[in-house]
Amino acid sequence: MRYRIIIFLLLFLTAGFQAHAAPDGGELYARNCAACHGEKGESGIGVPLTLPSFQATASDDYLRKTIRLGRPGRVMPASTLSDTEIDAIVGFIRGWGRQSRAPSFPTTPIQGNVEHGSRLFATQCATCHGANGEGGKGTGVTFSRPRDQQIMAPALNNPGFLAAASDAMIKAILVKGRDGTPMSHFTGKESALEDINDLVSFIRSFEKIPKHLTAAVLETEQAVLIKDSPYDLATTIANVKLAAISNNFIFIREQRLAYGLVPEGQEDPRQHIVYFCNFNMLNSALATDPRVGLFLPCRITVVEQNGKVKMMAVNPKRLSKIFNNTELNALCDEMTKRYLAIMEDATI
């Protein structure tokens, strides 16, 4: 009996907590979605959520699953919001639709000829969606898409998309197209219904692609790169500058760690940051995903503690996980290697 009371109280408290949180779809959208999709759903990246043709072919279930699962490896993160909060966001997004009712689709799988679908895909879809459904270049991975295109073709092989979209929904998009985007409808192309079913089956077959190919994550536990220096502080700083230059970076400046936080001259003289940049790499990184700026500029901190001198840097490989962007992986991996090379060179 006592246990039942405890369970009841916990349930009551949970319900109270969630009720108190009172999900406001607009507020939740502004906090979680607007940065990428625009305040009014007009889109920064991804399909414009206000687009009538999107609203007409995206079910509430699709929106819910998309928010919950995100798009692994393609900027949109999986959400840990509660179901009630996600429902509130979906309701808010649905408010932009001109239709009074959201579409709903059966979940019954569509049977088609995958091989024939593959041939159709190669001729009809691959130009925009990529040969393996990987999406148009830059899809979902940059805010800076060309402005002459309203959207870029999404990655159909993404596990998040495949889990969110039912076969019937994909078929509806193929049949109706998406007005206002380059996605035209197939019915106008004298496509038989069977062809469309074959295409749906081929798209569904992307589920067999191993996830590490469509949503790769770099594995490392080390958040900080640290290397002891056999030299004194001043020599190590000088060595880091030279090593950065010899590794194709431009030296930017050297500052004490507390620079700007305390009055000039009062910074701890044992802690220095050496800033450097490879502008070609920087430009490429920002074009891939401008969010990487929060780890810019490249820097190695040189500190002296208890008579020992150390060089330290963030580990870009470890940080790559937080961006949920597979296209950044190679750059992060490369940057980790370069930091280590600079530290190594500075100790020679």
Q: What does the binding site for another protein look like in residue numbers (CB under 8 A)?
A: 3, 6-7, 10-11, 14, 17-18, 21, 30-32, 34-36, 38-39, 44, 77-82, 85, 143, 147, 223-226, 252, 255, 257-262, 268, 271, 277, 279, 282-283, 286, 290-291, 293-294, 296-297, 299, 301, 303, 305, 310, 312-314, 318-319, 321-324
Q: Please report how close the Cβ of residue 241 comes to another protein at its closest, in angstroms.
A: 17
- Closer to another protein at the Cβ: 7 or 234? 7
- Closer to another protein at the Cβ: 32 or 118? 32
Q: Please report how close the Cβ of residue 98 comes to another protein at its closest, in angstroms.
A: 24
Q: Please report how close the Cβ of residue 60 comes to another protein at its closest, in angstroms.
A: 21
Q: Please report how close the Cβ of residue 13 comes to another protein at its closest, in angstroms.
A: 8
- Closer to another protein at the Cβ: 23 or 133? 23
Q: Please report how close the Cβ of residue 85 comes to another protein at its closest, in angstroms.
A: 8
Q: Which amino acid is at 210?
A: P
- Closer to another protein at the Cβ: 56 or 252? 252
Residues 6+ positions from 126 with CB-CB distance below 8 Å? none
Q: Please report how close the Cβ of residue 169 comes to another protein at its closest, in angstroms.
A: 25
- Closer to another protein at the Cβ: 120 or 314? 314
- Closer to another protein at the Cβ: 162 or 343? 343
* CA dist., res. 3 & res. 6, Å (int): 5
Q: Please report how close the Cβ of residue 10 comes to another protein at its closest, in angstroms.
A: 5
- Closer to another protein at the Cβ: 210 or 263? 263
Q: Please report how close the Cβ of residue 176 comes to another protein at its closest, in angstroms.
A: 29
- Closer to another protein at the Cβ: 108 or 279? 279
Q: Which H, E and C letters describe the chain, residue by residue? A: CHHHHHHHHHHHHHHHHHHHHCCCHHHHHHHHCHHHHCCCCCCCCCCCCCCHHHHCCCCHHHHHHHHHHCCCCECCCCCCCCHHHHHHHHHHHHCCCCCCCCCCCCCCCCCCCHHHHHHHHHHHCHHHHCCCCCCCCCCCCCCCCCCCCCCCCCCCCCHHHHHHCCHHHHHHHHHHCCCCCCCCCCHHHCCCHHHHHHHHHHHHHHHHCCHHHHCCCCCCCCCEEEEEECCCHHHHHHHHHHHHHHCCCEEEEEEECCECCECCCCCCCCEEEEEEECHHHHHHHHHHCHHHHHHCCEEEEEEEECCEEEEEEECHHHHHHHHCEHHHHHHHHHHHHHHHHHHHHHCC
* CA dist., res. 90 & res. 28, Å (int): 10
